[in-house]
Amino acid sequence: MSGQAAGGLDEAELEELAELKARDLEVRAHEAAHQAVGGQYAGAMSFTYQRGPDGAQYAVGGEVSIDVSSVNGDPQATIEKMRVVRAAAMAPAEPSGQDRAVAAQAMQVMLQAQSELASEQGAQATSQAGDSEDSSVNARSDTRLQESISGLSPRAIEQARNAYQDIAGFGSASVSSSAGFLPVSA
Protein backbone atom coordinates (compact mmCIF):
# COMPACT_ATOMS: atom_id res chain seq x y z
CA MET A 1 0.00 0.00 0.00
CA SER A 2 2.96 2.28 -0.40
CA GLY A 3 1.52 3.95 -3.58
CA GLN A 4 -1.85 4.75 -1.98
CA ALA A 5 -2.53 8.00 -0.11
CA ALA A 6 -5.53 9.16 1.87
CA GLY A 7 -8.87 8.57 0.18
CA GLY A 8 -7.62 5.62 -1.83
CA LEU A 9 -5.83 7.81 -4.42
CA ASP A 10 -2.19 7.36 -5.36
CA GLU A 11 0.27 10.23 -5.67
CA ALA A 12 -0.32 10.72 -9.42
CA GLU A 13 -4.07 10.88 -8.87
CA LEU A 14 -3.63 13.37 -6.03
CA GLU A 15 -1.47 15.53 -8.29
CA GLU A 16 -4.08 15.35 -11.06
CA LEU A 17 -6.78 16.23 -8.54
CA ALA A 18 -4.83 19.26 -7.33
CA GLU A 19 -4.40 20.45 -10.95
CA LEU A 20 -8.11 19.99 -11.68
CA LYS A 21 -9.10 21.90 -8.54
CA ALA A 22 -6.74 24.77 -9.45
CA ARG A 23 -8.06 24.83 -13.04
CA ASP A 24 -11.65 24.79 -11.77
CA LEU A 25 -10.99 27.85 -9.57
CA GLU A 26 -9.22 29.66 -12.42
CA VAL A 27 -12.01 28.97 -14.95
CA ARG A 28 -14.76 30.02 -12.55
CA ALA A 29 -12.93 33.24 -11.59
CA HIS A 30 -12.31 34.05 -15.28
CA GLU A 31 -15.95 33.63 -16.26
CA ALA A 32 -17.19 35.40 -13.11
CA ALA A 33 -15.06 38.43 -14.06
CA HIS A 34 -16.72 38.56 -17.49
CA GLN A 35 -20.18 38.28 -15.99
CA ALA A 36 -19.63 40.79 -13.19
CA VAL A 37 -18.28 43.53 -15.46
CA GLY A 38 -20.67 42.74 -18.35
CA GLY A 39 -23.72 43.24 -16.15
CA GLN A 40 -26.94 43.35 -18.12
CA TYR A 41 -25.16 42.56 -21.39
CA ALA A 42 -23.62 39.31 -20.13
CA GLY A 43 -25.34 35.96 -20.17
CA ALA A 44 -25.07 33.08 -17.77
CA MET A 45 -21.82 31.24 -17.21
CA SER A 46 -21.54 27.81 -18.81
CA PHE A 47 -18.78 25.31 -18.20
CA THR A 48 -17.24 22.19 -19.67
CA TYR A 49 -16.31 19.63 -17.05
CA GLN A 50 -13.85 16.83 -16.52
CA ARG A 51 -14.37 14.08 -13.98
CA GLY A 52 -11.55 13.89 -11.47
CA PRO A 53 -10.03 10.76 -10.00
CA ASP A 54 -12.24 11.33 -6.95
CA GLY A 55 -15.37 11.09 -9.13
CA ALA A 56 -16.27 14.80 -8.87
CA GLN A 57 -16.76 17.14 -11.86
CA TYR A 58 -14.30 20.02 -12.29
CA ALA A 59 -14.69 22.97 -14.66
CA VAL A 60 -11.89 22.92 -17.23
CA GLY A 61 -13.41 25.43 -19.69
CA GLY A 62 -16.16 27.98 -19.74
CA GLU A 63 -17.86 30.85 -21.46
CA VAL A 64 -20.17 33.78 -20.89
CA SER A 65 -22.14 35.11 -23.83
CA ILE A 66 -22.20 38.88 -24.28
CA ASP A 67 -24.37 41.12 -26.45
CA VAL A 68 -22.22 43.06 -28.94
CA SER A 69 -25.11 44.46 -30.97
CA SER A 70 -25.56 48.20 -31.34
CA VAL A 71 -28.46 50.06 -29.72
CA ASN A 72 -30.77 50.77 -32.64
CA GLY A 73 -31.07 54.49 -33.38
CA ASP A 74 -28.97 55.63 -30.41
CA PRO A 75 -25.24 55.94 -31.14
CA GLN A 76 -24.48 57.43 -27.70
CA ALA A 77 -26.11 54.46 -25.95
CA THR A 78 -24.18 52.14 -28.28
CA ILE A 79 -20.91 53.81 -27.29
CA GLU A 80 -21.66 53.37 -23.59
CA LYS A 81 -22.74 49.76 -24.11
CA MET A 82 -19.59 48.91 -26.07
CA ARG A 83 -17.42 50.41 -23.32
CA VAL A 84 -19.01 47.96 -20.89
CA VAL A 85 -18.72 45.05 -23.35
CA ARG A 86 -15.05 45.80 -24.03
CA ALA A 87 -14.30 46.11 -20.31
CA ALA A 88 -16.10 42.80 -19.68
CA ALA A 89 -14.12 41.05 -22.40
CA MET A 90 -10.84 42.25 -20.92
CA ALA A 91 -11.86 41.81 -17.24
CA PRO A 92 -10.09 38.52 -16.46
CA ALA A 93 -6.48 38.66 -15.31
CA GLU A 94 -5.45 36.70 -18.42
CA PRO A 95 -7.85 37.40 -21.33
CA SER A 96 -8.04 34.61 -23.90
CA GLY A 97 -7.77 35.03 -27.66
CA GLN A 98 -11.57 34.89 -27.85
CA ASP A 99 -11.80 37.57 -25.16
CA ARG A 100 -9.50 39.82 -27.22
CA ALA A 101 -11.58 39.18 -30.35
CA VAL A 102 -14.77 40.23 -28.54
CA ALA A 103 -13.02 43.36 -27.24
CA ALA A 104 -11.92 44.20 -30.80
CA GLN A 105 -15.45 43.65 -32.12
CA ALA A 106 -16.84 45.94 -29.41
CA MET A 107 -14.27 48.57 -30.38
CA GLN A 108 -15.37 48.40 -34.03
CA VAL A 109 -19.03 48.82 -33.09
CA MET A 110 -18.05 51.71 -30.78
CA LEU A 111 -16.07 53.48 -33.51
CA GLN A 112 -18.97 53.12 -35.95
CA ALA A 113 -21.33 54.61 -33.35
CA GLN A 114 -18.93 57.49 -32.74
CA SER A 115 -18.86 58.17 -36.46
CA GLU A 116 -22.67 58.16 -36.59
CA LEU A 117 -22.84 60.46 -33.59
CA ALA A 118 -20.36 62.90 -35.14
CA SER A 119 -22.38 62.94 -38.36
CA GLU A 120 -25.59 63.60 -36.44
CA GLN A 121 -24.00 66.39 -34.42
CA GLY A 122 -22.56 67.96 -37.57
CA ALA A 123 -25.94 67.86 -39.29
CA GLN A 124 -27.62 69.38 -36.22
CA ALA A 125 -25.02 72.15 -36.00
CA THR A 126 -25.46 72.99 -39.67
CA SER A 127 -29.24 72.96 -39.32
CA GLN A 128 -29.17 75.14 -36.21
CA ALA A 129 -26.75 77.60 -37.79
CA GLY A 130 -28.98 77.89 -40.83
CA ASP A 131 -32.14 78.30 -38.78
CA SER A 132 -30.71 80.96 -36.49
CA GLU A 133 -29.63 83.38 -39.22
CA ASP A 134 -31.89 86.19 -40.36
CA SER A 135 -33.27 85.68 -43.88
CA SER A 136 -32.07 89.10 -45.03
CA VAL A 137 -28.54 88.24 -43.92
CA ASN A 138 -28.82 85.02 -45.89
CA ALA A 139 -29.97 86.90 -48.98
CA ARG A 140 -27.08 89.38 -48.73
CA SER A 141 -24.60 86.57 -48.11
CA ASP A 142 -25.91 84.63 -51.10
CA THR A 143 -25.59 87.70 -53.34
CA ARG A 144 -22.03 88.39 -52.17
CA LEU A 145 -21.14 84.73 -52.52
CA GLN A 146 -22.44 84.60 -56.09
CA GLU A 147 -20.52 87.78 -56.96
CA SER A 148 -17.28 86.44 -55.50
CA ILE A 149 -17.68 83.00 -57.06
CA SER A 150 -18.44 84.25 -60.55
CA GLY A 151 -14.81 85.24 -61.12
CA LEU A 152 -13.35 81.92 -59.88
CA SER A 153 -12.47 78.84 -61.87
CA PRO A 154 -14.45 75.65 -61.25
CA ARG A 155 -11.32 74.09 -59.72
CA ALA A 156 -10.93 76.98 -57.26
CA ILE A 157 -14.59 76.69 -56.31
CA GLU A 158 -14.17 72.96 -55.67
CA GLN A 159 -11.06 73.56 -53.55
CA ALA A 160 -12.87 76.20 -51.52
CA ARG A 161 -15.85 73.86 -50.99
CA ASN A 162 -13.55 71.03 -49.87
CA ALA A 163 -11.66 73.33 -47.50
CA TYR A 164 -14.92 74.54 -45.97
CA GLN A 165 -16.24 71.01 -45.54
CA ASP A 166 -13.01 69.87 -43.92
CA ILE A 167 -13.05 72.80 -41.50
CA ALA A 168 -16.77 72.42 -40.79
CA GLY A 169 -16.28 68.74 -40.01
CA PHE A 170 -17.92 67.22 -43.05
CA GLY A 171 -14.92 66.32 -45.17
CA SER A 172 -12.58 63.37 -45.18
CA ALA A 173 -9.89 65.24 -43.25
CA SER A 174 -12.16 65.38 -40.20
CA VAL A 175 -12.34 61.59 -39.89
CA SER A 176 -9.66 60.14 -37.69
CA SER A 177 -8.85 56.46 -37.81
CA SER A 178 -8.62 56.25 -34.04
CA ALA A 179 -11.52 58.60 -33.23
CA GLY A 180 -10.06 59.23 -29.79
CA PHE A 181 -9.72 55.55 -28.80
CA LEU A 182 -6.74 53.29 -29.09
CA PRO A 183 -6.94 49.53 -28.86
CA VAL A 184 -5.31 48.20 -25.72
CA SER A 185 -2.74 45.47 -26.14
CA ALA A 186 -1.78 43.38 -23.18
Percent of the chain with pLDDT over 70: 64
Give the torsion sign (CA, 115, 119, 120, 121).
positive
CA-to-CA distance for 180 and 109, rounded, in angstroms? 14
What phi, psi does 180 have (nearest 5°)? 85, -5
Query: At residue 165, what is the residue type?
Result: Q
Lowest mean pLDDT across 4-8, 103-107, 118-122, 156-160: 156-160
DSSP 8-class letter at 66: E
Q: Give the pLDDT confidence score for residue 154 in this predicted structure.
A: 60
What distance in Å separates the CA atoms of residue 98 and residue 129, rounded to the nearest whole number?
46
User: Per residue in 32-58, pLDDT tens?
Assistant: 999 999 999 999 999 999 999 999 999
- Average pLDDT, rounded, for the chain: 77
* Buried-exposed string 104-123: b where 16+ CB fall within 10 A, e elsewhere: ebbbebbbbbbebbbeeeee
* Dist. CA 115–CA 178, nearest whole Å: 11
Instruction: Identify the pLDDT of residue 173.
Output: 37
Give Cα 33 to chain centroid, integer Å.
Answer: 17
Q: What is the pLDDT of residues 7-19, one digit of tens each?
A: 688 999 999 999 9
Averaged pLDDT for residues 85-91: 95
Integer angstrom CA distances of residue 91 from 39, 80, 149, 186: 12, 16, 58, 12
Q: Could you give the CA distance from residue 14 to residue 180 in angstroms, rounded to a whole number?
A: 52
pLDDT tier at 179, thresholds 50, 70, 90: very low
87: left (phi over 0), alpha (psi -120 to 50) or beta: alpha
Tell whether the model's pLDDT for residue 5 goes beyond 90. Answer: no
- Indicate whether 162 pLDDT > 80: no
Q: What percent of the chain is predicted at pLDDT more than 90?
A: 57
Q: What is the pLDDT of residue 124?
A: 75
- What type of residue sits at position 18? A
- Average pLDDT rounded to a whole number, residues 119-141: 62
**Cα 65 from Cα 13, distance rounded (Å):** 34
Of residues 157 and 71, more confidence is placed in 71
- What amino acid occupies position 51? R
Q: What is the pLDDT of residue 156?
A: 53
